[in-house]
Amino acid sequence: MKKRFGLLLALIAALVMLVVPVGNTTHAQAADNSLEKIQKKGVLVMGTSPDYPPYEFQATVNGKSTVVGMDVQIGKKVAKDLGVKLKIKSMSFDSLLVALQTGKIDMIISGMNPTPARRKNVAFTHTYYQGGYDIVINKTDKAKYKNKDSFSGGTLGAQTGTTQYNASKSQTKNTTVKGMTSQSDLILALQSHKLDGVAMEKPSAEAYVSNNKQLAAIPSDFNMSSSATSSAIAFRKGSTSLVNKVNKTVDQIKKENLVKKDYLPAAGKYLKTNTVNTSMTHYWKAFLTGIEYTLIITVCSVFFGFIIGILLALARMAKGNFFKNLLRWIATAYVEFIRGTPMMVQVMFVYFGLGLFVNLPALTSGIIAISLNSGAYVAEYIRGGINSVNIGQTEAARSLGMSNGETMRYVVLPQALKNIWPSLGNEFITLIKDSSIVSIIGVTELIYQSNIVRSDTYRGVAPIVVIMVLYFILTFTASRILNYFERKMQHD
């Protein structure tokens, strides 16, 4: 199903390789103790992208949002046979390969096809499932479309980075192919007639059709090699002993036909319970968690960003000897670099790049990345604020015998902060919104939670409306509070 990792991720990976030129090769060449290492650790971390029912998706189990699906069943069986515990880490499909290579996860089970291109980077087990492709259409169009060749002049959709996306592009004529990252977005686009059909794997297509009476599935008739339609488990390259051991489990699964007999029906059960209660109030806990994490990220990032900002601003104004000039140069370069690169890339770089040296949890990585980013902007505000304080203030303080530092701390900074308070408030509100970016590394903030609710309920718009309102409540409340303090400061 899913084939290549995104261009952005490739770039990050390249960067990471540059930073640590020997990292991965030494892994591969080192004596293979992969099996021993996992069993010693006692935990097997499985990476997956839970937006692909019935392979893997989010469902509410005993009131808690949980990753379920046939791949999860396979992961559990693999862990059990290894005698270790299974831990599931969710992230976008595009991030999985990098996460595996940088040691964030131990294996990928996410309906991944063992394509030759992927085999260059990771080691695959035997395939555990042989699938195929369908195209989901609106039931009203059933007479119009027969297979992939019926969409001439129309528009097909598919999940980006997947095999079916590439097949849609190369194996159709006169057809526009639109890529989106999430399956539920594609279905939504189909229902609002922005797309004429959505190519996806058979089990997924069947799950959508059985859950939504307005949809129908037709065969795709894509011309595929078997490696492109089968799914296998990915491990880090060189972990032969681990792969060999897991192959025994995979072979047993295939021999006993466990996927069709047990796993798919079990997954289907979750799909059914899903559609019972799809009202947004039913998911208030999910949204509350989202708000909680959004606020944690924002408040921490504002705090650390402010400290970083002050240090950077002072460094940028250092002048005099060689050391001070160097400091100024570094700070200036830092600010320019941070402001000139997307925050999304920075977040991924901290999570995957720094992850090579220290294993940082996603939340910590997110806070670090956003603080570093915000610091660069805050530094510019503070620098502006300091420059806005009359030079006479500094002269008066210095003439009283105060040192440069004392002058800054007691006279200039308090006035500068008062001047830039509105800008700082703006930064805080911007951060509430920008914190949404860390959803890509799997932090359970508002956006991430809304995506879960969307794939959980098959409702595309309602969760978006809910978080839109929630974001507005957060930012509006924040701006009211900031205004209150601004007025209070004005009285002083």
Partner 1 sequence: MTKPVIEVEKLAKSFGENQVLKEITEQVNPGQVIVVIGPSGGGKSTFLRCLNLLETPTSGKVAFEGHDLTTMDTKGVNSLREKMGMVFQGFNLFPNMTVLENIKLAPMKVKGTDDASATKRAHELLERVGLDDHADAFPDSLSGGQAQRVAIARALAMDPEVMLFDEPTSALDPEMVGEVLNVMQELAKEGMTMVVVTHEMGFAKSVADRIWFMADGYIQENNTPDEFFAHPETERAKDFLSKILM
Complex with partner 1: residue 160 or 407, whichever CB lies closer: 407
Complex with partner 1: residue 21 or 405, whichever CB lies closer: 405
For the chain, give the number of residues: 492
Complex with partner 1: residue 340 or 401, whichever CB lies closer: 401
Euclidean distance between CA atoms 75 and 109, whole angstroms:
7
Euclidean distance between CA atoms 196 and 458, whole angstroms:
18
| Amino acid residing at 360 | L
Find the shortest distance in angstroms from Cβ 413 to partner 1: 10
Closest C-alpha among 360, 346, 366, 336 to residue 15: 346
Q: Among residue numbers 383 through 442, which ones bind partner 1 (CB under 8 A)?
A: 390, 392-393, 395-404, 406, 410-411, 414-415, 418
Contact assessment for residue 235 and residue 106, using Cβ atoms and an 8 Å cutoff: yes
Find the shortest distance in angstroms from Cβ 492 to partner 1: 7
Find the shortest distance in angstroms from Cβ 428 to partner 1: 22
Find the shortest distance in angstroms from Cβ 372 to partner 1: 30
Complex with partner 1: residue 36 or 395, whichever CB lies closer: 395
Cα angle 86, 87, 88 (rounded to 5 degrees) comes to 120
Task: Please give the full DSSP string across 149-184, using - where no structure is assigned.
Answer: GGGTTSEEEEETTBHHHHHHHHS-SS-EEEEES-HH
Complex with partner 1: residue 21 or 392, whichever CB lies closer: 392
Find the shortest distance in angstroms from Cβ 382 to partner 1: 16
Complex with partner 1: residue 357 or 485, whichever CB lies closer: 485
Find the shortest distance in angstroms from Cβ 345 to partner 1: 40
Find the shortest distance in angstroms from Cβ 423 to partner 1: 18
Complex with partner 1: residue 276 or 391, whichever CB lies closer: 391
Q: Which residues in 102-117 are b (16+ Cβ under 10 Å) and which e?
A: bebbbbbbbbbbbbee
Q: How crowded is the C-beta side of 399, counted as CA atoms within 13 Å? A: 6
Complex with partner 1: residue 19 or 396, whichever CB lies closer: 396
Which residues lie below 8 Å from residue 232, measured CB to CB, with a gap of 6+?
A: 112, 113, 114, 124, 125, 126, 127, 128, 250
Euclidean distance between CA atoms 83 and 36, whole angstroms:
11
Burial class (CB in 10 A: 0-12, 13-18, 19+), 403: exposed
Task: Please give the full DSSP string across 287-305, using - where no structure is assigned.
Answer: HHHHHHHHHHHHHHHHHHH
Number of residues counted as binding partner 1 (CB under 8 A)? 20
Tokens representing 219 are 């065969």
Find the shortest distance in angstroms from Cβ 415 to partner 1: 5
Contact assessment for residue 198 and residue 158, using Cβ atoms and an 8 Å cutoff: yes
Complex with partner 1: residue 333 or 400, whichever CB lies closer: 400
When asked if residue 241 is in the footprint of partner 1 (CB under 8 A), the reply is no
Residue with tokens 């502006």: 384
Complex with partner 1: residue 40 or 492, whichever CB lies closer: 492
Find the shortest distance in angstroms from Cβ 407 to partner 1: 10
Complex with partner 1: residue 322 or 492, whichever CB lies closer: 492
Complex with partner 1: residue 1 or 416, whichever CB lies closer: 416
Find the shortest distance in angstroms from Cβ 390 to partner 1: 7
Residue 143 CB: number of other CB atoms within 10 A? Answer: 6
Residue with tokens 């290894």: 82
Q: Among residue numbers 453 through 492, which ones bind partner 1 (CB under 8 A)?
A: 492
Which residues lie below 8 Å from residue 348, measured CB to CB, with a gap of 6+?
A: 8, 9, 12, 95, 440, 441
Residue 26 CB: number of other CB atoms within 10 A? Answer: 10
Q: Among residue numbers 349 through 378, which ones bind partner 1 (CB under 8 A)?
A: none
Find the shortest distance in angstroms from Cβ 396 to partner 1: 4
Find the shortest distance in angstroms from Cβ 388 to partner 1: 13
Q: Among residue numbers 189 through 228, which ones bind partner 1 (CB under 8 A)?
A: none
Closest C-alpha among 225, 218, 228 to residue 190: 218
Euclidean distance between CA atoms 119 and 113, whole angstroms:
10
Please report, as ranges, the residues that interact with partner 1 according to CB under 8 A. Answer: 390, 392-393, 395-404, 406, 410-411, 414-415, 418, 492
